[in-house]
Amino acid sequence: MTSLEVARHVLQVTFGHPDFRPLQARVVAPLMAGRDVLAVLPTGGGKSVCFQVPALATRGLTLVVSPLIALMQDQVGALYARGVEAVAFNSTVSRESQDAALMAASAGTLRLLYTSPERLTRLADELVARRIPVTRLAVDEAHCIVEWGHDFRPSYRALRAAREAVGGPQCIALTGSATPEVRNEIASALALRPNTATIVGSFDRPNLRFDVVPVSGRDDRLAKLVVLVRASRDPAIVYAPTRGLVDGLTRVLREAGVDASPYHAGMTPDERRSTLERFLGDDLRVVVATCAFGMGIDKPDVRLVVHWSSPGTPESYYQEAGRAGRDGGASRCVLLHHPADDVTPRQQLDVTFPPERLVERAWADPSLRARQPAGVVASIDRLSAELRPDRGRVNWQGVRRRKREAERRLTAMMRYATARECRRRMLIGWFGETLRRCSGCDRCSSRS
C-alpha cells in the first residue's frame, strides 16, 4: 500500500470514515510523504483528522500544540472514545499522570501528546532528557502565532526554538483563517522547510448571508438586537466586546422573553461549562458572549450570529461569524453598526501600542509607570520583556510594523461596515480569494 492508502485504512478502521474529504487528502498526502504542511481549511473542514491519522499511521510521537485546555480535552476525549491513547499536558494533569504518559511515549505506545505553547518548552526539555524522539509537531489554530504571539501569549514565539530542541521534526500548521501575509509569518515563525506543501481551501461559505444593520444609537441598537434574536427562533450567538456588556445584554434579552445565558472569562469554569453544555444540548437557545466563546465551539445548527459592534479585525469577524451554519444550512451573520464604532477599537490600539516616548520615560521613571492606567502598564511591561531596554538601544521597528498592521486591519473592518461594495466580496477578498458571485449579502440584495 502507498502511504496515503495506509492513512486511509487508519481513517476507516479508527474513525469510521470511508475516505478523506478532498482537502484532507491534499493535506495528508504530503504529510505522509515527509513534507512540512501549512493547511488553511475552512470551518468544519476536519482539521484535526489531518494530523491525528498520520500520527496513528506512522511510528513515533506527535506533539500537538493547542491554544486552549478545552480544545485539548475535547480532542483527547474523542480519541479515547475511539480507543486511541492520547494525553494532554496542562494545568489539570497531575505530575504522576505526566510521568506515566512520558513512559508510554518512551515505550512507543503513546502517539499523540497535546500541550499548550506555554508548556511546550519545558516539555521539549523533558523529552530530550529522556531521549524520547519526536516524529512530528502539529500546531493547531496556527493563526494564534501572529494574533497572540507578540502581545497576548509570547510563548507562541518560542515554537521554533522548541521544534529545534526536539530535533527539528516534521511540522504541520493548521488554521481556519489566514491571509497570505499571515501564512508567510506562520511559515517563518515555525521555520517551515522550503518544500512545504501549502493547502488553502475556499473561504466562501455560500450558506451564510452577511448583513450590516445601521443603528442610530444605543437604544436603537438594543431594539434591533432584540428584534433579530426574537425573530430567529433558532440557536443564536450574540457577540459583545466586554463582560459587562455581555451581562447587560443577557438581562435585556431575558426580559424580552428570550432564553439567553452569558459566556465570558469572568465567569467560573463551572458556569461557562454549564452554558456551553446547555447550548450544545439544545437546552439553551441563545448565548451572549465575548470572544472567549470561540475556538472549539462546534454547534452545527447555529442559524444567527449577531455582533453588537465591529471586532478589530476581519479575521476575528470571519471566525466568529463562521460559528453559524456549520451544517450547511442557511444562516445569517449580522453586524450592528454605528458611525462611531471605530472609536473604542482605536482607543484600544493606543493602549496596546502606547507612545514610544511615554514607554521609554516609564522605563526610566517607575513612578511614571505607576501613574498609568492598568492596560498601559501591562503594555509597557510587555514591551520591556520584548525589547529588553536593559541591553542597550531599543529597536522599535517590529512594534511599529505591528501597529501599522493592526491599524490596517481595523480600517478594513470599518470599510466592511460602511462601503457600498458586496460584503462577501470584501470579506473573502481580505484572505486573498476572488469571489465570482455573491450568494447573499444586504448590498447585493438591495441592488437586485
CA distance 156 to 147: 10
Specify the pLDDT at position 152.
Answer: 58
With H, G, I as helix, E, B as strand and everything else as coil, classify residue 271.
helix
Specify the pLDDT at position 151.
Answer: 54
CA distance 411 to 314: 9
Specify the pLDDT at position 148.
Answer: 66
Which range scores top for mean pLDDT: 35-44, 207-216, 308-317, 395-404? Answer: 207-216
More confident residue, 68 or 52: 52
- Say if domain 3-200 classifies as CATH 3.40.50.300: yes
What's the pLDDT tens digit per position in 280-314? 999 999 999 998 887 767 899 999 999 999 998 99
Asked whether the beta carbons of 185 and 146 are under 8 A apart, the reply is yes
User: pLDDT class for 42, splitting at 50, 70, 90?
Assistant: confident
* pLDDT average, residue stretch 268-279: 93
- Mean of pLDDT over the chain: 92
CA distance 248 to 246: 5
Asked whether the beta carbons of 376 and 392 are under 8 A apart, the reply is no
Specify the pLDDT at position 393.
Answer: 82
- Say if domain 208-342+439-447 classifies as CATH 3.40.50.300: yes
Task: Classify each residue of 376-394 as buried b or exposed e, where b means 16 or more C-beta atoms within 10 Å of its C-beta.
Answer: bbebbeebbeebeeeeeeb
Asked whether the beta carbons of 330 and 304 are under 8 A apart, the reply is no
Cell of 354: 502606547
User: pLDDT class for 83, splitting at 50, 70, 90?
Assistant: very high
Whether pLDDT at 45 is above 80: no
Q: Express as a percent the part of the chain with pLDDT over 70.
A: 98
Interacting residues of 340 by C-beta distance below 8 A, sequence separation 6+: none
User: pLDDT class for 150, splitting at 50, 70, 90?
Assistant: low
Please list the residue range(s) of the chain that carry CATH number 3.40.50.300.
3-200, 208-342+439-447
Interstrand relation of 286-289 and 260-263 (parallel, antiparallel or unpaired) = parallel
User: pLDDT class for 16, splitting at 50, 70, 90?
Assistant: very high
Strand (E) or helix (H) holding 5: helix 3-10
Q: Is the dihedral of CA 365, 367, 372, 376 positive or negative?
A: positive
Whether pLDDT at 161 is above 80: yes
According to DSSP, residue 354 is labeled -
